[in-house]
Amino acid sequence: MAGSNFEVGTGDHRLVGWRSGSGPVVVVLHGGPGLSEYTESLLPELTDHYTVVRYQQRGLAPSTTAGPFDVETQVADALSVLDELDQDRAVVIGHSWGGHLLMHLMAAHPDRVAAGLVIDPLGAVGDGGEADLGRILGERVTPEAAARATELDEKAMQGEGTPADAIEGLALFWPGYFPDPPSAPPMPPMEISLAAYGETFSSIREHFERQTLVSLLPTTHIPTLFLLGEQSPIPPAHGVSSAALMPMAEVKVLPKCGHFVWLDQPGSVREGLDSLYARIS
């Protein structure tokens, strides 16, 4: 990992993170849930102008591997990182599940987020695009790969199987996250916590049923930009409907981009972040 390390808390409450670059602080929430931190590939377009702070979410070392694994605890963890950084009001980037987590952070603690950059998230309305994600990924890979990956994912969601099985399933689906699956870049090394994955998703679904974000996001007044991949397996409509809940949200749909927009269109996240800073300066 690039940059300098920091720790928040100790023992079963420990979170470990990394600082890179210089300039205004931006905190990044990686996707998953239950995955290892994978956003190092985002650093080259940001660290010449921003101090980028990333941390490993709970479930995997070097952070705590202990639960509970639910939305509320993940929000509390993000707040503890902001406190450690002395960021009363932070600019936060969230990708995928991390974008969904960022929406929960803004909904529950709008006073702590100065601006939000939500990158191709699991949405806030209905099921957030979860069903579409599974369907589209299955359509973009071979039937054999789709069947095997779905089987492995279902086991992971139930806390069964092994982490290696779950990573195998992710690798089979990986090309489908990109607009041209045959030319998808190699998947970076990944680890997964089955408990963090399955239990956090159960919590996410409970919040969908309670319509937590649908109820709270309209009360937020935070400058927010949704960056959505036009060809993401989470169709942009889910991000658009999420942004529509927020009075100060804007949307940019990026053509020829899938789920990992900074890999498909390098510089797009930097441009979005610069535009957000212009709005709050």
Cβ-based neighbour number of residue 186 at 10 Å: 7
Q: What is the pLDDT of residue 1?
A: 41
The answer as to whether 62 is a domain residue is: yes
Dist CA 153 CA 77 (whole Å): 26
Tens digit of each residue's pLDDT, the chain (281 residues): 456 689 998 667 899 999 999 999 999 999 999 999 999 999 999 999 999 999 999 999 999 999 999 999 999 999 999 999 998 999 999 999 999 999 999 999 999 999 999 999 999 999 999 999 999 999 998 999 889 988 887 887 777 788 998 899 899 999 999 999 999 999 999 999 999 999 999 999 999 999 999 999 999 999 999 999 999 999 999 999 999 999 999 999 999 999 999 999 999 999 999 999 999 98
Q: What is the pLDDT of residue 154?
A: 83
Alpha-carbon dihedral sign for residues 187, 264, 177, 195: positive
The answer as to whether 43 is a domain residue is: yes
Q: What is the pLDDT of residue 156?
A: 75
Q: Are 26 and 46 in contact (CB under 8 A)?
A: yes
The answer as to whether 33 is a domain residue is: yes
The answer as to whether 269 is a domain residue is: yes
The answer as to whether 157 is a domain residue is: no
The answer as to whether 148 is a domain residue is: no
Q: What is the pLDDT of residue 153?
A: 79
Q: Are 166 and 194 in contact (CB under 8 A)?
A: yes
Q: Are 52 and 43 in contact (CB under 8 A)?
A: yes
Dist CA 191 CA 186 (whole Å): 15
What total number of domains does the chain contain?
A: 1
The answer as to whether 147 is a domain residue is: no
The answer as to whether 262 is a domain residue is: yes
Q: What is the pLDDT of residue 3?
A: 60
Which residue segment(s) compose the domain that 109 sits in?
A: 4-127+175-280
CATH (domain of 59): 3.40.50.1820
